Amino acid sequence: MRKFLVVFLILLVVVVVGGDIALRGFAERMVAERVAQQMQTSEQPDVAIGGWAFLPQALGGTYSEITITAGTATVRGVTLEQIEATATEVDAPLSDLVNEPSVVAGQVEGSFVVPYSYFNPHLPEGVTITTENGEPRITGELAIPELGVSTSISAAGEFEVDGGTVTVTPVDIEVSGAPDGVSDMVGDMLTFSVEAPELPFGLTVTEMENVSSGVRITGTGQDVPLMGSEAA
């Protein structure tokens, strides 16, 4: 009898664990499909629901952590790359998920990369931002109407964020084929400010850093709708 109980308990644990894994996978796929629709991702994002067990979280309607990663997404017409988001204290009652999916996170921290090409339309014609050794570089043929000349320029680019505004400033400017003392004029022509693209999930910008493919912008938010009619 004791041997039978031991075997029965082992089988019960296997069934419970197997069911937990299967239901977790189903929920992750459902969230991934909804996020893909809302964010217009190029492919279905990766979604992982954290916590030692899924069933207790599902029954309680609160999940400790959900992470979302995607290669690219389109937000308000702007293509973003390397999207990463971690949501904690996620409220998703089981009844809501069955009927009308509605998921709200108490706290979300996320980041995405804005390709350097996003900033090119704000530069003078003939000048673009590229990368050199993993760093942003402003290069091209710049026309200077005041002097009646066109010159090749090259400069490092500094990106700063203030609130939701990104300011791009050229530094270490190199000018060829132009009179001496035009670096300040070139610097003024290449300096501009532009509104940062809207962050996924309506997050607020907190910091920014240059990476090899663009500018990584990080943001946070509270009481953020991840799924449902109110999701950004």
Report how far residue 50's alpha carbon sits from residue 166's, in angstroms, rounded to the nearest whole number.
34
Question: Which is nearest to 74 in space by CA: 103, 110, 37, 102?
Answer: 37
Flag whether the pTM goes above 0.85.
no
Bridge partners of residue 48, in order along the sequence: 67
pLDDT score recorded for residue 10? 46
* Dihedral sign of CA atoms 24, 26, 29, 33 in order: negative
DSSP three-state, residue 76: coil
Please report, for the chain, the start and end positions of each structural domain, with discontinuous segments joined by +: 2-115+199-227, 117-195
Say which DSSP state 122 is in: G
What is the model's pLDDT at position 73? 83
- CA dist list (Å): 176 to 138, 145, 207, 220: 14, 16, 35, 44
CA distance 110 to 89: 15
CB neighbours of residue 215 within 10 Å: 24
Per residue of the chain (232 residues), give pLDDT as tens. Answer: 555 444 434 443 444 445 556 677 777 887 778 777 777 777 888 888 887 777 777 777 788 888 998 888 887 778 888 889 998 888 877 666 556 567 788 899 999 998 988 999 999 999 999 888 888 999 999 888 877 778 888 999 888 888 778 899 998 888 886 666 777 888 889 999 988 887 888 888 888 888 888 889 898 989 888 775 555 5
- Alpha helix segments (H runs only) across 52-167: 55-60, 94-98
- pLDDT number for residue 109: 93
Task: Yes or no: say if 84 and 109 are a contact pair by the CB < 8 Å rule.
Answer: no
pLDDT for residue 12: 39
